[in-house]
Structure 1
Amino acid sequence: MRRIVQMGTLALAAALVLTGCGAGTSGDSDAGADTPRELVLGNNGDVLSWDPGEMKEGAIISYAEAVYDPLLRKTADGEIEPNLATEFTYNDDLTELTLTLKEGVSFTDGTPFDAEAVVANVAARKAGTGSASEAAKSIENVVVQDDYTVVLDLVAPNPGLLAALATYLGFMASPAALEAGTIGTDPVGSGPYVYDAANSEAAASYAFERNEDYWNAEAYPFDTVVIKPLTDFTARFNALTTGQIQFMYGTPDMVDQAEAEGLTVQTVPGEWQGIILQDRAGTLSPALGEVEVRQAINYALDRETILETYYNGFGQVSTQTFNPASQAWVEALNEEYPYDPEKAKELLADAGYPDGFEIPISYSEGFMTPLVPIVQQYLAEVGITMTPVPINGFANGGLETLKGQPAFMLSFSTNIPAWTDVLNKLTPTSLWNNFKYTDPTVEALLAEIPLTQGDEQTELYQELNTHLVEDAWFAPIVLQQNVYLSSDDIAVTMQQAQLIPSLRFFAPAD
């Protein structure tokens, strides 16, 4: 029986999460009400550091959410709501954000959560190199008004700040652990679970026991959580079908077999996949410094055919890198680069490359491996010789390897608000803009967008998106439907604009 569930039917699953109804453990639906419940997740990657200031955006968020509670949190549809900060209010010019903090919360080492804890965590994020660092730079000072009230004094308005405070910037770690310098290896938070090092094995399995003092325990019905890093898709799928895990991020080609195995298949619009053409100034690859060359790469890709064959139709062709539900999305932009190899050849000739050129394009093994020869073939047909450069997983230095590559293929998240994508990929200090490239149009728009709201801000975002597409900063192929597979003994609420649903959106199926 076909059991594909898409975003929309959130109420029932959310109710399950909030009530924690039912009683059984994984694979034991007849167990009594006092039987401990366990959730076992298969994860795309390993956790390299427990320091939220060093964590990179993506599947790693599951590890963080187990032990750290954020100041704010995201609903399933991407809205921001209170959490450790019970109230949040901007001043009129959006340069000060006042947070009222929850009282009576302590970290698991006994350190109290209060205004000074927020000060320590923001300082640590500003000093970090992870996904939180870019948003943290917009905070000039944290002013303590009293024990449970802080004001974030901003350098300039930051449209992505609230979303950042709901993830890595907002994850609160023990100030004592931060000061001791042990947070990277020994996580201490105030979250729903406590890391169980004795029953964990690095790179294989990480166990978490319930935090008995957690203030919102009813939102997390499982007594224990186990996260297993399984970077190989086949190994992860085999683990799911044999009952070793209960949930995984999958691929479209797994859907038919998953249905045959009786697994639940759910989808949500998610990541774009394609090429980041980061050497836009032509520093290492002079050809990429020509806009006609970057446009030619876009015309060379037959997105419709790739979508139907490689992605089995799970997604939509896309020339843009923003989330469809964000302010920046412009539907008409997806018509900008129809498949036209002759047009691509003309553009290459106009740019001074009538015979094409050679370029190394790196890629992260796993996600991208099957897509690489497809892209390589399309580029070869217009005269571009692509040399694939496989990189190690991020756990083994792969991220550092990407920094020196003129172009690379990865799977990239799309976010709400759109400013999160701006901070991730478009500023000179963005994690995915290692050549620090910008141009006058982007500079001007990035300066103006934070100063606006509503329709005016939407118009500026769309102007930015249009410029990026026309100037071919990227060569996206599809915005894929993220595929999630789970066993029938758990219920999972899909979450908009987050690679892996938050732990509070998992519940026993009964």
Structure 2
Amino acid sequence: MLSGRILKSNMLRFAGMLIVATLTSGPTLSAEKGGTLHLIVQPEPISLNPGINRLGPATFVGNKIYDSLLGYSATDIAPIPRLAESWTISPDGKTYTFKLRHGVTWHDGEPFTSKDVAFSIGDFLPVQHARSKDVRAEIARIETPDAFTVVFTLKAPYPAFLRTLNVAIVPAHKYVGVTDFRSAPANGEFIGTGPFKFKEWKKGSIIRLVRNETYWDAGKPYLDEIDFQVVPDANSRAIAFETGQVDVLRSGDVENFDIPRLAALDSVKISEAGWEFLQPIGYVHINNRNPILANQTVRQAIVQAIDRDFIINTLFAGYGKPSNGPFSRLSSYKDTSVETVYPFDPEKAAALLDKAGYKADADGTRFTLRLVPLPYGELWSRQAEYLREALGAIGIKVEIASVDVAGWFKRLTTFDYDIAQNFVYTTADPGIGILYGYRTVQGDNAGSTGGNVNGYSNPEIDALLEQGAHEADDAKRRQIYSKVQQILSRDVPMVWTHDIVFPTLYRDRVQDLITTALGTDDNFAAVWLKK
């Protein structure tokens, strides 16, 4: 499996040549038009604009409204055309020239042009997201020689670049004269170029999208409408699927222990595909800026107090794989041979805390930590309760500070927590996701864009991540990232609870649901319903 790499030899071989990929459209001859696809979005998103918010619920809905320059194939995560129909790469690997589709219009009827791409990637997205800010820092200049050409000149070779372009392109004409992109009125208008248009959002009830009749991919989308239902609890969501009110369940919509039962229903299928690009890993964040948690010995104690097999096999009902480092099993850069393994061992964990100077007091408490749970439903609440019990068993008192999604995000990005739950999309190239997650963040917060919310800082890691991001030779990149894994797994800046497996349940009348490496996070232009 490729993982976002552009081999040096390939860069030389294909330099200056036109790179064109063909969109996979599935069995178009048998695809039927019409119908409404009924989904669940859990929890209710903060925004439907993935240019503003990239948390899972926002991208799940918003990626149907906002198209991107590229998609990625399911088989090898190779880039495929979306708003960009073709591209070339210069011999030195520093200049990328994209030819854009003609005749694409925004949902308000305005034409899509290269100015929208330059504005989105050059100005708008870097204000909103740490990963986009990192990408923008790689770019020396963005040029738009005509309405359908955009040229990115990079400061240095950056092999991950083609894997960074699945981001939402937003309408530049809606932001003319705007200085504060974060609070612009256009952010709530949800105008994209994607296969579906925003129709209505009844808070706490339903989000409704309808077919974009002028979508650039002729004949698509096939669906008339997509309804995202907001259902308050997991049991009700399971009933909605059982009774046919909902056609698809994504992992997290229901309790994991319910998945085998629901998968056994008549005319129901299950798939674990569609995560090849995102590569999710479960985290217990540790705030390394807390003086207690800055001590590596304390972090080693915490990781050995947590039974990660219990988390996988009991809490997640077996939907997960063991992980001892920052890279997903789906990454071709994963190197388990260099990882330090900290086995579940509460006695050793307690001894490490003694060694670190944190002796238990008369009531058995060594110190107190605030845990901010991930507010994504009952499963995460139960994991939070388990973490409280597991750490309590070695004398660490845990106080659970439950907040909503917005509060959780603010707590993490301002380092206003001690430990916190999360799962993160590490993505198909370490020059994107790993760089983003472990490079030192300057200042007293990670900002509204996220980033390294652990506050971990290691100059050696910073230097290696910088080298890996700009090394064109894939063999050398592998050596660099093996060293990164060796250091991070030893330092345990956080607890990698598990390599997450996210199954999708769907009725067999739903066709071509997962056709790319983005799975259900993709735009659903090819999805159709069998009558």
TM-score category, normalised to shorter length: 0.7 to 0.9
RMSD, aligned CA: 2.7
CA displacement at 1:133 relative to structure 2:
4.0
Counterpart amino acid of 2:112? F
**Contact (CA 8 Å) 1:206, 1:226: kept in 2 or not?**
yes
1:371 aligned to which of 373, 383, 388: 383
TM-score by length of structure 2 reads 0.82
Question: Percent identity over the alignment?
Answer: 22
1:358 aligned to which of 368, 371, 378: 368
CA displacement at 1:497 relative to structure 2:
6.2
- The reply to whether residue 477 of structure 1 matches residue 486 of structure 2 is no
Once the two structures are superposed, residues 271-290 of structure 1 have per-residue CA deviations (whole angstroms, 9 ceiling, x without a partner) of 3223011x2243xxx22010
Once the two structures are superposed, residues 164-210 of structure 1 have per-residue CA deviations (whole angstroms, 9 ceiling, x without a partner) of 211x2xx222222233744211122221122113xx42342122221
Alignment of 1:236-385 (within 5 A): 236-250=237-251, 251-262=255-266, 263-268=268-273, 271-277=280-286, 279-282=287-290, 286-332=291-337, 336-355=341-360, 356-365=366-375, 366=377, 367-385=379-397
User: Which residue of structure 2 aligns with residue 105 of structure 1?
Assistant: 104
Alignment of 1:403-442 (within 5 A): 403=413, 404-427=416-439, 428=441, 431-434=450-453, 436-442=455-461
Once the two structures are superposed, residues 383-436 of structure 1 have per-residue CA deviations (whole angstroms, 9 ceiling, x without a partner) of 222222212123xx3311233112211222332122332254223257142364
CA displacement at 1:70 relative to structure 2:
0.8
**Contact (CA 8 Å) 1:192, 1:217: kept in 2 or not?**
no
1:48 aligned to which of 43, 46, 49: 46
Deviates more, 1:247-256 or 1:329-338: 329-338
How many residue pairs get aligned? The number is 475
- The reply to whether residue 506 of structure 1 matches residue 524 of structure 2 is no
Name the one with the larger strand percent: 1
2:171 aligned to which of 170, 174, 177: 174
**Contact (CA 8 Å) 1:106, 1:190: kept in 2 or not?**
yes
User: Which residue of structure 1 aligns with residue 466 of structure 2?
Assistant: 447
Question: Do the aligned partners of residues 424 and 44 (structure 1) sit closer, same or farther apart at CA in structure 2, a change above 3 Å counting?
Answer: farther
Distance 2:232 2:480 in 1: 39
CA displacement at 1:18 relative to structure 2:
4.8
Alignment of 1:149-168 (within 5 A): 149-166=149-166, 168=167
**Contact (CA 8 Å) 1:299, 1:343: kept in 2 or not?**
yes
User: Which residue of structure 2 aligns with residue 461 of structure 1?
Assistant: 481
Distance 1:509 1:347 in 2: 59
CA displacement at 1:153 relative to structure 2:
2.7
Counterpart amino acid of 1:442? I
- SS of 1:256's equivalent in the other structure is helix
Counterpart amino acid of 1:455? A
Question: Do the aligned partners of residues 318 and 265 (structure 1) sit closer, same or farther apart at CA in structure 2, a change above 3 Å counting?
Answer: same
**Contact (CA 8 Å) 1:495, 1:502: kept in 2 or not?**
no
Counterpart amino acid of 1:291? Q
- The reply to whether residue 486 of structure 1 matches residue 506 of structure 2 is yes
Deviates more, 1:90-99 or 1:106-115: 90-99
Question: Do the aligned partners of residues 124 and 203 (structure 1) sit closer, same or farther apart at CA in structure 2, a change above 3 Å counting?
Answer: farther
Deviates more, 1:136-145 or 1:444-453: 136-145
Question: Do the aligned partners of residues 274 and 188 (structure 1) sit closer, same or farther apart at CA in structure 2, a change above 3 Å counting?
Answer: closer
Question: Do the aligned partners of residues 237 and 193 (structure 1) sit closer, same or farther apart at CA in structure 2, a change above 3 Å counting?
Answer: same
- SS of 2:503's equivalent in the other structure is strand
Question: Do the aligned partners of residues 255 and 472 (structure 1) sit closer, same or farther apart at CA in structure 2, a change above 3 Å counting?
Answer: same
